[in-house]
Chains A and B, each alone.
Chain A
Amino acid sequence: MDDVSKGYWSATLGLLGKILAVWFVVSFGAGILFVDVLNNIKLGGYPLGFWFAHQGSIYIFIALIFYYAKAMGDIDRRFDVHED
């Protein structure tokens, strides 16, 4: 593997790691593991943990994918491997 593709792949994996961390925290963390603690906080009429499980995690998933698409586009151009 040459240096460019090595660098490209490690940049990609770095980005994936960061996004998956957020993905895990909002769903499995806030929505399941720490739901009872968060339920003590209220978001309007929603207990916060319940909100993450039934609403919040979905909104954050969407943001994550668009962020990923944009950040990957930047990485593609930085390593000059983008489509024309």
Chain B
Amino acid sequence: MDLQTTIYLFVGASFALYIGIAIWARAGSTSEFYAAGGSVPPVMNGMATAADWMSAASFISMAGLIANMGYGGGLFLMGWTGGYVLLAMLLAPYLRKFGKFTVPQFIGDRFYSKSASTIAVVCLLTASLTYIIGQMTGVGVAFSRFLGVSSDTGIYIGMAIVFAYAVFGGMKGITYTQVAQYIVLIFAYIIPAIFISLTLTGNPIPQLGLGSTMSGSDISLLSKLDQVVVDLGFGQYTTTTAGSTLNMFVYTLSLMIGTAGLPHVIMRFFTVPTVAAARSSAGWALVFIALLYTTAPAVAAMAKLNLHATVNSAVMKGGDLYAADSSIKADERPDWMKRWEKTGLLKFEDKNGDGRIQYYNDKTKNADAKAKAEAAGWKGNELTVNADIIVLANPEIALLPNWVIALVAAGGLAAALSTAAGLLMAISAAVSHDLVKGVFNPNISEKNELLAGKISMAVAVIVAGWLGLNPPGFAAGTVALAFGIAASSLFPAIMMGIFSKKMNKEGAMAGMLAGLAVTLFYVFAHKGIFFIKGTDFLPMIGGANSFFGITPEAFGAIGAAVNFIVAFTVDKFTKEPPEHIQAMVEAVRIPRGSKLVDGAH
């Protein structure tokens, strides 16, 4: 069977499975639609959370970015897992005890103010929409390769499927489908990694393979990779940091608190039966996430090595990387390169006209590498590989069997779809439940409330798809911006709502607004107002990364700090919250008396 048919078969079968499950578990009520009736056991909830959480950014984009960044890419690994420790201890059990099913509802009740809840809706929408842009970028990459179309067309197809899929199910359907999607995506991620680790190191466990020696030699895989990339003028793999140590520190912190503040993740902990289950659920979620996250660095390093080995035969054989016949002949390049060239995400240009592909860092500061390249008559790097394709192309680069390549395509789509569906749920709950029912029209019927939710999903998909055509960065980078926004606005407000009995509505509202405003200001200065190209205003803030060299993706932690400071300052000068709110906070802190979630205000 040829590759394209195998891919259709795997993707088709996995979609049939999801749709079957969605029909079987269809939601009957709003409570089932938004919180699955509070009836999902912790292990299964953990698996669904993992699928919800691990998006196109984790599956498709992250390992590619790590391959590019080396050690510095660890900020994604630590940031996107460490947040679960915060979530498990600081938010999940208390929000579960509180017993409502959206984040704005908690903020509105705890800060006894509809304005506070409306501000929370605005923060939630900003974060979720940015997040979906990242997903759409990833979906575009996956579909473009899978159907052999341009990545723009891929995004249009992705928009249609994501929408049809999310509107259909509701939270209960989504939860059970996500369990299936988790299983598909984790197999799709790990199986090629096992193959590749076995070939390169003889060790089938990628986490151990990454720390092993290369098969048939006594040099470790990481030192080999370090040698090759340094020789070609790239930064050393195991030590290159992301910007500066300070930037890496705040970037990691932003991702961690952003994780804990993302509404579609928090919502997950409303679907478990008890407070105790909310605590362990986060642990189970992290177990399932860690399976992928500890494999990712192995995929990254090994794919990078394999990619260099493909275009330069001296990588594996040893010898001079700059020798004339080491670089691969252009017309002998493998089929997978030709397939990816069609998507526009991999480009080859024969700059020195020698009919061979030279892949190296032509902007290197390494004088040694520069001299060697010039001596060899290399006229600039000839191969451009978009970081977002590394994972999808990985099994092809390693020449694995067709069914593995097909499985990875199905896995990438599962990851993107499950997360986009979860985000659309959070958006639709915020608009229909918190905004329309909570603020504008409290007497709306259940049927119209669901309708409002579905309309808001449609709008969100269109806006995100449109912005996804001109994404502000790679899928994982765009997603990181969403975390910064959640970190600076929602996380501090929820945390203060639980841990500070005296925090009042004025403080919380001022904090959220200040945190969101300062973060958006910094992000928009770099990426354009609402990510629209050409509207950036860098000169106004004194150039790129002007705040102590911190990149906009990393700025969320600073925004969160501003949020806390403003909130406590305003709180000091305004009236303390009424008695019954303080009593409510005390009740939230204690597990006894937890009830099933309900939607009533």
Contacts and interface: CB of A to CB of B under 8 A. Distances in A.
A54 B77 contact: yes
Contacts of B293: 58
A32 B248 contact: yes
B280 A66 contact: yes
A8 B587 CA distance: 12
B199 interface: no
Nearest to A47: B238
A37 interface: no
Interface in A16-34: 16, 19-20, 23, 27-28, 31-33
Interface of B is mostly: helix
Given A31-B74, A47-B222, A76-B591, A83 B290 contact: no
Given A23-B82, A59-B294, A45 B210 contact: yes
Interface stretch (B281-289, B437-445, B470-478): B281-289
Contacts of A66: 280, 283
A62 B211 contact: no
B294 A55 contact: yes
Contact of A28 (B93, B223, B239, B252): B252
A33 B66 CA distance: 19
Interface in A32-59: 32-33, 35-36, 39, 43-47, 50-51, 53-55, 57-59
A76 B594 CA distance: 13
B245 A45 contact: no
Given A5-B589, A28-B252, A61-B286, A68 B279 contact: yes
Contact of A83 (B213, B221, B239, B276): B276
A8 B589 CA distance: 9
Nearest to A1: B586
Nearest to A4: B590
Given A32-B245, A50-B238, A83-B591, A58 B210 contact: no
B505 to A, nearest CB: 21
Interface in B66-119: 66, 71, 73-75, 77-78, 81-82, 84-85, 88-90, 93
A84 to B, nearest CB: 8
Contacts of B82: 23, 27, 57, 61
Contacts, number: 141
Given A5-B590, A27-B252, A62 B71 contact: no
Contacts of B210: 45-46, 54-55
Interface residues of B, number: 52
Contacts of B248: 32
Nearest to B592: A81
A83 B211 contact: no
B274 interface: yes
Contacts of B593: 83
A54 B297 contact: yes
B590 A53 contact: no
B214 to A, nearest CB: 9
B310 interface: no
Contacts of A73: 276, 279
B239 A61 contact: no
Given A50-B238, A83-B276, A59 B85 contact: no
B158 to A, nearest CB: 30
A19 B90 contact: no
Contacts of A1: 586
A30 to B, nearest CB: 10
Contact of A32 (B90, B221, B249): B249
B590 to A, nearest CB: 5
B213 to A, nearest CB: 6
A27 B84 CA distance: 13
Contact of B590 (A16, A50, A81): A81
Interface string B403-420: 000000000000000000
Closest 6 CB pairs of A and B: A45-B220, A53-B74, A65-B283, A44-B211, A54-B297, A69-B279
Given A12-B589, A61-B82, 16 more contacts: A19-B85, A20-B85, A28-B252, A32-B248, A33-B249, A46-B211, A54-B74, A54-B210, A55-B210, A61-B286, A62-B283, A65-B89, A68-B89, A69-B279, A81-B591, A83-B275
15 contacts: A1-B586, A16-B89, A19-B85, A33-B249, A47-B239, A53-B75, A54-B71, A55-B297, A58-B293, A58-B294, A61-B81, A61-B84, A62-B287, A65-B85, A69-B280
